[in-house]
Amino acid sequence: MLRAWRLQRSEVHPAVLGLGVAERPWRPNPRSANNSEIRRPETDSPVLEQSEKAYRITKPTSPVEALDRNVRALLNKICPENLDKIVEKLANVELQKAAELECVIKAILGKALVEPHYCETYADMVFALQKKYPEFPPENEGERPLTFTRVMLNTVQNEFESLPTTFEPTDDDKAKFPDPEDLQREMKKRKDKMLAIMKFIGNLFLRQLLSIKVIGQVVKGLIGIQDGLPKDHMIEGACELLQAIGSTVDSESKCCLLAKPFSSFLYTFECGSVLASESITPLRKLFKEQAKTKAAVRDEFDQAQKAQQNGRRKGPDSVFSFQTAGARPSYIDDIANQKGRPQADTCPEHGKLEQVKNLGNKSRGKGKMCVYFADDKDGESLQQDWAKAQPSDKEAKQGVEWLLKTGFEDSKKADITAATLAELMKRCLVPWDTLKECFSASLSALPDLKMDAPHCDIMVHCLIARLLMLENFNQVVLKPMQTFVSHNENRDLGWSLMLGIVKKLKQENAQDVVTKALNMSEFISCAATARKTTVPNARKQLQSA
Top mean pLDDT of 238-242, 308-312, 350-354, 378-382 is at: 238-242
Q: How many CB atoms lie within 10 A of CB 484?
A: 22
CA dist., res. 532 & res. 538, Å (int): 9
| Residue 313 pLDDT > 60 | no
> Among 17-21, 77-81, 145-149, whose mean pLDDT is lowest?
17-21
**Long-range contacts of range 258-261, CB-CB < 8 Å, 24 or more positions apart?**
258/212, 258/213, 258/215, 258/216, 259/212, 259/215, 259/216, 259/219
Same fold, 63-284 and 347-543: yes
2-11 mean pLDDT: 73
pLDDT tens-digit map of 438-454:
999 899 888 878 877 77
Q: For 299-346, give the secondary structure using H, E and C.
A: HHHHHHHHHHHCCCCCCCCCCCEEEECCCCCHHHHHHHHHHHCCCCCC
| Residue 398 pLDDT > 80 | yes
517-528 mean pLDDT: 91
Average pLDDT, the chain: 77
Letter string b/e over residues 68-93, b meaning 16 or more CB atoms within 10 A of that residue's CB:
bebbeebbeebebeebeebbeebeee
pLDDT tens-digit map of 256-296:
445 455 544 444 444 444 444 443 445 555 545 567 777 77
33-49 mean pLDDT: 62
Distance of CA 539 to the CA centre of its chain: 41
Query: Which class in CATH covers the domain with range 63-284?
Result: mainly alpha
How big is the CA angle at 165 (ends 162 and 169), to the nearest 5 degrees? 110
Which residue type, as a one-letter code, is found at position 216? G
- Per-residue pLDDT at 324: 61
The alpha carbon dihedral of 414, 420, 425, 431 has a sign of negative
- Largest Cα separation within the chain, whole Å, is 123
- Per-residue pLDDT at 371: 42
The alpha carbon dihedral of 526, 529, 532, 538 has a sign of positive
pLDDT tens-digit map of 133-143:
888 888 777 67
Is pLDDT larger for residue 198 or for residue 1? 198
Q: Is 40 helix (H, G, I), strand (E, B) or coil?
A: coil
DSSP annotation of 476 reads: G
* Cα–Cα nearest to 266, from 173, 198, 365: 198
| Residue 91 pLDDT > 60 | yes
Cβ neighbours for 506, distance < 8 A, ≥ 6 positions apart: 514, 545
- Per-residue pLDDT at 39: 56
pLDDT tens-digit map of 203-231:
898 888 888 878 888 888 888 766 677 88
> Among 34-48, 110-124, 528-542, whose mean pLDDT is lowest?
34-48
How confident is residue 395, by pLDDT bands cut at 50, 70 and 90?
Answer: confident
- Per-residue pLDDT at 455: 85
- Per-residue pLDDT at 310: 73
**481 touches 521 (CB < 8 A):** no
- Per-residue pLDDT at 505: 92
CA dist., res. 388 & res. 209, Å (int): 41
For the chain, the straight-line distance linking the first and the last C-alpha, in angstroms and rounded, comes to 113
CA dist., res. 372 & res. 381, Å (int): 12
- Per-residue pLDDT at 238: 86
Per-domain residue ranges of the chain: 63-284, 347-543
Half-sphere exposure of 173 (CA within 13 A, CB side): 16
CA dist., res. 462 & res. 415, Å (int): 6
| Residue 528 pLDDT > 50 | yes
- Per-residue pLDDT at 356: 43
56-66 mean pLDDT: 86
Q: What's phi and psi for 98, nearest 5 deg?
A: -65, -30
Is pLDDT larger for residue 6 or for residue 124? 124
Q: Is 31 helix (H, G, I), strand (E, B) or coil?
A: coil
CA dist., res. 293 & res. 83, Å (int): 10
192-197 mean pLDDT: 91
471-500 mean pLDDT: 90
Which residue type, as a one-letter code, is found at position 76? N
Burial status of residue 317 (CB atoms within 10 A of its CB: 0-12, 13-18, 19 or more): exposed
Cβ neighbours for 464, distance < 8 A, ≥ 6 positions apart: 477, 478, 481, 497, 501
Structurally, at CATH architecture level, domain 347-543 sits in Alpha Horseshoe (1.25)
